[in-house]
Structure 1
Amino acid sequence: MSGLAAPVALGLTILLDVGGQLLFKLGLDGDESQAQPERGLIRRVLGSPTIAGGVALYAVEFGCWLFVLSRLDLSLAFPIATLSYVGVVLASRLFLREAVSPRRWIATLLIAAGAACIGMSA
Structure 2
Amino acid sequence: MNAEIVGLFVLSVVCDVAGQLAFKLGAGSVPAPGKGQWGAFARALVATPWLIAGIAVYVAEFLIWIRILALVPLAVAFPLASLNILGVLGASRLLLGEKLGRNHWAGALLIMAGIVLVAGSL
TM-score under structure 1 normalisation? 0.86
**CA distance in structure 2 between the aligned counterparts of 1:108 and 1:45, rounded to whole angstroms:** 31
The 5-angstrom pairing of residues 1-122 of structure 1 reads: 3-29=2-28, 33=29, 40-122=40-122
Which runs of no fewer than 5 residues in structure 1 stay unpaired? Answer: none
5+ residue gaps, structure 2, are: none
**1 CA distance for matches of 2:53 and 2:13?**
16
Q: CA deviation at 1:37?
A: 7.9
Percent sequence identity is 35
Question: What letter corresponds to residue 19 of structure 1 in structure 2?
Answer: A
Counterparts of 2:103 and 2:7, CA distance in 1: 31
Is residue 28–residue 44 contact of structure 1 (8 Å, CA) maintained in 2? Answer: no
Tell me which protein shows more helix as a share of its residues.
1
Q: Contact 2:9/2:68 (CA < 8 Å) preserved in 1?
A: yes
2-side partners of 1:42 and 1:20: how far apart? 19
| Partner secondary structure for residue 96 of structure 1 | coil
Q: What TM-score comes out, normalization by structure 2 length?
A: 0.86
Question: For the aligned residues, what is the CA RMSD?
Answer: 1.9
The CA distance in 2 between the partners of 1:44 and 1:95, in whole Å, is: 24
